[in-house]
Each structure stands twice: as structure tokens, then as C-alpha cells.
Structure 1
Amino acid sequence: MKLKYRDLIDQTYYFPQDEFDTKGSNLTFHGIEVMDLVNKYGAPLKFTYLPKISENIQKAKNWFREAMEKHDYEATYNYCYCTKSSHFSFVLDEALKNKIHIETSSAYDINIVEILKKEGKLSNKSWILCNGFKRDQYIDNIARLVNGGHKKCIPILDNAEELDLLSENINGKFDIGIRIASEEEPKFEFYTSRLGIGYRDIVPFYKSKVKEDPKASLKMLHFFINTGIRDTAYYWNELHKCLKVYVNLKKICPTLDSLNIGGGFPIKNSLAFEYDYAYIIDEIINQIKVVCQDAGVEVPNIFTEFGSFTVGESGGAVYEVLHQKQQNDREKWNMINSSFITTLPDSWAINKRFVLLSVNRWDDEYERVLLGGLTCDSDDYYNSEQNLNAIYLPKFKKDKPLYIGFFNTGAYQESIGGFGGIQHCLIPTPKHILINRDENGIIFTKVFAEQQSHDNMLRTLGYNVDEENK
């Protein structure tokens, strides 16, 4: 009988996969033996594999290029990274190597753009798309950017009042976009997105307000689906409703020439993950062209905003199993040396799944377990292998340390978890390392941030740490 952890993975999934393999009894990730990272830096440990960011950007660019060539689509494609997925400088530095553009969602994003421009990593040739509900500071920052000469900045209106606010603050003419308030999936708690302007209101709004504005020119229509780009009847139906608005606007608005198909691609959350990116892109380009041809209008330039797809698959987290608790005759709890609530908040807040694999001991027998975090909160657990309602890992043994890895965690987890701030139950943010390759493909690593100290947390909480340490 095959009872080794390796046998379980081989029988359950196609393995090895592009990014996952083993060396001896240890897991490798993009050719990196994860136990080497543990031996060098310890655990818990967060890491970012930077080359994966560029790899995914180039994949998407190639898929769109091939689809546009196939369908003789005579317009441009523009890859934008939405910074809300991860604002870290190392993410932006890697992404911008690929000649991409930026999508922002709040006022301080513009401050990041200005720093990147000062450092020569962004230029006035880069598109800056400004999404989100715009308060005074956001409006002021957008105006400062445009007034400073960045004419390829497109504030995308979330509501009708934003047009007047922008016109009051921006000197001279400027481009705008309009976000469509798409209908949400039937299972959602509400019918229509709180963001954007309704389908039926956009053309009347253009006629009554935008067309009469002496400074603003409508350049872009922004279509966003909260659940992302998926091959479902819901997605294709919403896309066609958006295209109907686009062609109706295009017939009366000659400056409109761009369509932003927001809503990201899914990323791998299991070894069984399947998604035909090339097919979806091909079908999107085909449908846009067919609708525009039938309506007798030119096809739009295409913009996408990929956040999780850009950065998600670059991230990972490694924990040590500290102890096993047998709580009843069925449930064994493996307790990790960190907290899921603080380090993988999406697993707690929205039951998001990540790729979970043992880092070592692949040739040991396995058992069915649940995973618990260090905090005293009953919700600090992970059992998001929802098809099994449990997790299988090598058997816990006190004299044989067990390490587990969560992969494709690079989007949102640090910002939602409050990187560098106050953590639930004061569990510290783990050490974070960056992994890269030099021009010869040789792997090198460096520490981005050490594990959060108690001094750091106590100062944030207002305690006099200097006095406490005397």
C-alpha cells in the first residue's frame, strides 16, 4: 500500500508541475529547494520570487498579441498593473521592467507614481489610470500630476460629481474615462456594483455633462467584473452589455477610443487548477471586433488591469508545525508557529485557497489534519481544501521537524494583514526575503524586512519603549 506523502500527491494530481518538483524528500519551487531558505533564514518566512512577475506579464502580452494578430485587430494593447494588489517597491520595480502602465485606486498611489517618475522608472509616456471613489486629496493629487505635464493620466469617473471637481482643479484640457456600474453575479448580496455609473445613465450623462465640458474629453470606457474574467454566461453577458454602451457612445463621441476590460485573471490556487488564458483572450478580442464591425465603429484600444495575476504567483509563506493536538477521536490539529489571520488574511476573511504543500519529509507517511494558528481566536485556522474539508501532511513527529509552504500568496496578504503595523494578538510579521536571478540565471536572495520586533509594535501602540528598555 502506498502511504507516503509523495504517493498521495502523485495519485491526486499531475506532478511534478512547472513550478513545483522535489529534490530528494524536499519540495522545490522554480528550482529553489525551499528547505534551503528555511535553513538559511528560519521560519516563519515570507518570500517573493521576483522573476515570476515578469514571466506573467510577458505571457499576457504574448497572448493578446497573438489574438490581435489572428483576428486582424487594428488597435493597441496596454498592460496595466493595479497597485492595490501589492504596493511594495520591489514589485513595482520588477513590473516596470516590462514596459507596462499603472492603475491607481487612492490618493497615495499618486505619490508613489511621482517617486517612480523622479527615479526614472516611469515617464510621461506611461498611462496612469486613476480608479476608485475620489475624495479631495485624490482629486488634488491627480490634478497635480496632470498639471505637472503627465497628460497620459486618465481619471476614470466613479460618479458624475467627479467631473466638476476635476475640471475645477486641472488646468487646460484633460482626458477622462467612465466606469460602468456592472451588474453583480446573481449570488451576490446586491444587484449592481456600488462603483461606477449605471449602463442606462452613461450615454445621457455624456450628452448632458461631458460633451458640454470645455476641458474634458472622454477617451475610455471602463468595464469591471468583481469576480474576474471567467468563461461563464454571466461574464460574456456583461461584456456584451458593455460593448453595446461602447458602440452607442462611440457613434456620438469621436474621442472615445479605448476600452478597459478590468477584472483580473484567476491565479493557481491548487495543483488541480486549470484555466485556458489564451482561449479567453482570443474570445474577448473576437467578440469585441465582431460587435464593433456590426455597429460600423472602429475597434477600441484595449487596456487590462491585472493585479493578482501580476504578483500573486510570486509569493509564498513557510511555517513550522510546532505541535500536534488530538482534540477528539477524529481531529488532529497541527499548530503552526504563526497566525493565518495576520499572515494569510484572505484564508480567514474570504475562505481563499492557496497551494499548500509540505516543504520536507515527502517520503514519510501522511495523515489527515487541520491547521491552527497561534492566536487565541477560534477562527485562526486553515482547512480550505474544501473538497476534503481537511488537509493531508506527513505524520507529525516531535523528533522530525515538519515545515509547510503556502504558495501564490503574493497579492493583498501583506496590505490586508497590516504589514509593519499592529497584528492580531501581537503575532509579529514574519521575516520577508526577496528571491531573484542574475543575468546568468543564478539565484540570489536578500532580506527585505526582518521579523517584526516587540519595540516596533509597542511604539505604534504608544508605549514608551525607550523607558521600558532602560
Structure 2
Amino acid sequence: MNTKYIDLIDQTYYFPQEEFTLQEEFLRFHGIPLNELVEKYGSPLKFTYLPKISQNINLAKQWFANAIEKHGYKGRYHYCYCTKSSHFQHVLHEVLNNEVHIETSSAFDIDIVERLKAAGRLKDDTYIICNGFKRERYIENIGRLINEGHQNCLPIIDNYEELDLLCDEIKDDFQVGIRIASEEEPKFEFYTSRLGIGYKNIVPFYENQIKDNDKVELKMLHFFINTGIRDNSYYWNELLKCLKVYIKLKKICPSLDSLNIGGGFPTKNSLAFEYDYQYMIDEIINQINIACKEANVAVPHIFTEFGSFTVGESGGAIYEILYQKQQNDREKWNMIDSSFITTLPDTWAINKRFILLPINRWNDEYERVLLGGLTCDSDDYYNSEQNMNAIYLPKFKRDKPLYIGFFNTGAYQETIGGFGGLQHCLIPQPKHILIDKDANGEFTYEVFSQQQRAEDLLSILGYNDAPEKEGEKTGVLDERVGATPH
């Protein structure tokens, strides 16, 4: 009988896959020996595999290069990274090794840009696409960056007042983009995005506020939809509406030469994941080419803003199954040594799916389970709703520790979870490891952050004068959290 976990995977998915392989009964991720990672650093554990960031950037660049050549497209392609997906220095350093551009969303992003410029990581000709609703500090920072000579800083106008505010702050001439307020999918609670300016109002806005303003030049039209780039009628319909606005603007605004198609590519969230990236890019380039040729206007340079696609597939989280609770005749709860709410908040907030696989014991029999976190919150769980299918894992055995991994978690989870701050029920933040490769192709490991200690949390809470008690330095709020692996 096929009762082993490896049998279940073999009969359900194509396995092994490019990033997932087995070495005996142990899972490897991009060749990383995850069981050795746990043995060395313990559990719970988060990691970032930096080479995957560069790999995805260069894949997208090649897909666009292929499409541009195939369709004889006359515009250039620019890859931008959305910093909001992960602001960490190690991520930005890896991203900027690949000659890409940056998209920002708030005031402090500009401070990061200035640090990167001072360190020589970001060039003067790098595009800084400034998105988002701009309050006073954001306007000031954008103005400072442009006034200090970064001419490729491009504010994207989000509302009718921003242009005047920017004109007051910026000394010389500057370029801008306009964001389209796209219509949302029918399932949304609202019809039109709160971000940007409506389709029908963009041309009047240009004519009233930009056309006769000698200080401002319109360079870009920015198109973004919340669901990302997907092969459905909603996406193609919105893209065609965007192209109609671009063509209408281009005929009265010669300086307009760029189209930002925004919206991200999806990341792999299942072993059954299928998405034809090259086809989608081919068709986008083809549609733009056709529309512009029919209207007899020059095709735009293409900008994309990929955040989750850039960093999502570089991240992972590893937990130990501490205990199994049989709550009734059908539900077995496997309790992890951390919290989903704090370490993978998107599983709780938006029912986001990640790839879930055991790290060890692939040759053992399997069982159907639910996964629960350590907090006392009833929403701290991961089940078939997030995972699409029932969760099957090797059978729980107290004398045979089981470690599980969640993969492609590299986007948003640290910032949404409040990295370095308070965690729900004071569950400590896990240790975080950076994984890279040296010149010989060998894996290198660096501890980016240790597991939070009790005194870290007490300090945030204002207990600065609290006497230190035995055990506080370990940060062990539950006797099994952070325990050394077996």
C-alpha cells in the first residue's frame, strides 16, 4: 500500500520540482539542506535565500526581452522593485545588483534611497517612481531628492492637490506621472480604486494643471490593478481602457513616453501552481503594439513594478510540531512552536496560501491534520481554507520530532507582522537567517536577527526598570519556544 508521505506527494503532484528535492527523507529547497539548517539554528526559524531574488529579476527581464524582439517593439523595458514588499537592506542590496529601478510608497522610502545612494548602491540615473498618497513629509523628501540632482525621481500624481504641493517644494523643472484609478473587480465592495485619478478625468487634469505649466512635464501614465497581472477578461479590459487613455494623452502631450503597467506577477503558492509568464508578457506587448499602431502613435517605454514576484519566493519559515491535540473524532490539531498571526500574518488576514511541506520524515505514514499557533486567539491557525486542500503531514510521534516548512513567504510578512516589535500574546519573533552562495557555489549562512528576548519586549512595553529574572535572557515565553532541536 502507498501509505508514506512521499507516496502521497508522488501521486498528487509532479515531484521533485525545480526548487524542491529530497535527499533521503529530508526536504531541500534550492539545494539548501533544511534539516541541517534546523539542527544548527533551531526552531522556529525564518530564512531568506538571496540568490532567488536575482534569479526572478533576470527571468522577468529575459521574458520582456523575448517579447520585445518577437513583436518588433520599439520601446525599452524597465524593471522596478516595490520596496514595500520588503525594505530590508539585504534585500535592496541584492535587488540593486541587477540594474533595476525603485518604486516607493511613503516618506521614509526616500530616506532609504538616500542611504543607498550614499553607499554607492543606487546610481544617479536610477528611476525612483514615487507612488502613494503624499503627505507633507513625503512631498518634502521627494523635493529634496530632486533638488539635490536626482532628475529621474518621478512623482506619480495620486490626487488633484499633489501637483501644486510638488511645485512649491521643487526648485527647478521636473517630470511627473499620473496614476489611473482603475475600476475594481465586481466582487469588490467598491467600484473604483481609491488610488489615482479616474479614467475620464485624466485628460482634463493634464489640460488644466500640466499642459501650460512650464515647470512640469508629463512623462508616465501609471496603470495598476489590485489583483495583479492575470489572464482574465477583467485584466485585459482594464488594460485596453488604459491604452485608450494613453493614446488620447499622447496625441496632445508629446513628452508622454512611458507606460507603467504596475500590478504584480503571482508567486508560486502550490506544487500544482501554473502560470505562463512568457505568454502574458507576449500578449501585453502585443496589445500595446497593436493599439498604438492603429492610433498612429509611438509605443511607450514599459515600466513594471514587481514586489512579491521579486522577493516572495526567496523566503521561508520553519516550525516544529510540538504536540497533537485530538479535539474530537475528526479534528487533530498539530500545534507549532510559534504563531501564524505574528510570523505569517497574511494567512490570518487574507487567507493567503503558501507552500507547506514537511522538512523530515517523508518516508513515514501520513495523516490529515489542522495546524494551530501558540497564541490564545482562535484565529491563529492554518487549515484547508488557506491551503485549498486538506493538510496531510507525517503522523505525529512524540519520539520522532516533525519539522514543517512554509515556502515563498518573503514578501510583506515581516513588515505586516511588525518586525522587531510587539507580537500577539508576546510570542517571540523567530531567529532569521540569510542564505547566500559564495564564489565556489557553496551555501553561506548569516544570522540577521536573533529570536526576541523577554527584555526586548519588556523594554517596548515600558518595563525598563523591571528586575531581571532567571530565564528572561533566553526569551523563552513558552518552555518549548526556541528549544534546541532533537
With structure 2 as the length reference, what TM-score do the two structures score? 0.96
User: Is 1:124 matched with 2:124?
Assistant: yes
User: Is 1:342 matched with 2:357?
Assistant: no
Match of residue 330 from structure 1:
330
Match of residue 285 from structure 1:
285
Q: How many angstroms does 1:466 deviate by? A: 5.8
Match of residue 101 from structure 2:
101
Q: How many angstroms does 1:384 deviate by? A: 4.2
Q: How many angstroms does 1:23 deviate by? A: 0.4
Inter-CA distance 297–335: structure 2 relative to 1 (3 Å threshold): same
SS of match in other structure, 2:146: helix
User: Is 1:276 matched with 2:245?
Assistant: no
- 1:236-284 CA distances to partner (integer Å, 9 max, x unpaired)? 0000000000000000000000000000000000000000000000000
Match of residue 12 from structure 1:
12
- 1:365-398 CA distances to partner (integer Å, 9 max, x unpaired)? 0000000000000000001455765310000000
Identity %: 72
Q: Is the 8 A contact 1:341 1:380 kept in 2?
A: yes
Inter-CA distance 241–304: structure 2 relative to 1 (3 Å threshold): same
SS of match in other structure, 2:223: strand
Match of residue 218 from structure 2:
218
Q: Distance in 1 between matches of 2:321 and 2:184?
A: 40
Q: Is the 8 A contact 2:352 2:386 kept in 1?
A: no
SS of match in other structure, 2:261: strand
Match of residue 464 from structure 1:
464
Match of residue 21 from structure 1:
21
Q: Distance in 2 between matches of 1:29 and 1:122?
A: 31
**Total equivalences in the alignment:** 470
SS of match in other structure, 1:7: helix
Q: How many angstroms does 1:4 deviate by? A: 0.2
Could you list the runs of 4 or more consecutive aligned residues of structure 1 that deviate by over 4 angstroms after TM superposition?
A: 384-389, 465-470
User: Is 1:141 matched with 2:146?
Assistant: no
Match of residue 307 from structure 2:
307
Match of residue 243 from structure 1:
243
Q: Is the 8 A contact 1:432 1:447 kept in 2?
A: yes
Q: Distance in 2 between matches of 1:380 and 1:244?
A: 46
Match of residue 473 from structure 2:
none
Q: How many angstroms does 1:212 deviate by? A: 1.9
SS of match in other structure, 1:62: helix
Q: Distance in 2 between matches of 1:212 and 1:452?
A: 56
Q: Could you tell me which amino acid in structure 2 is paired with residue 298 of structure 1?
A: A
Q: How many angstroms does 1:334 deviate by? A: 0.1
Matched ranges for 1:38-57 at <5 A: 38-57=38-57
Q: Distance in 2 between matches of 1:452 and 1:91?
A: 21
Matched ranges for 1:38-117 at <5 A: 38-117=38-117
Match of residue 33 from structure 2:
33
Match of residue 426 from structure 1:
426
Matched ranges for 1:406-421 at <5 A: 406-421=406-421
- 1:123-170 CA distances to partner (integer Å, 9 max, x unpaired)? 111000000000000000000000000000000000010000000000
Q: How many angstroms does 1:32 deviate by? A: 1.2
Give structure 2 stretches of 5+ with no counterpart: 471-486
Match of residue 392 from structure 1:
392
Q: Distance in 2 between matches of 1:451 and 1:305?
A: 32
Matched ranges for 1:125-204 at <5 A: 125-204=125-204
Q: Is the 8 A contact 1:352 1:384 kept in 2?
A: no
Q: Is the 8 A contact 2:347 2:386 kept in 1?
A: no
Q: Distance in 2 between matches of 1:37 and 1:398?
A: 21
Q: Is the 8 A contact 2:354 2:387 kept in 1?
A: no
Inter-CA distance 144–103: structure 2 relative to 1 (3 Å threshold): same
Q: Distance in 2 between matches of 1:38 and 1:316?
A: 12
SS of match in other structure, 2:338: coil
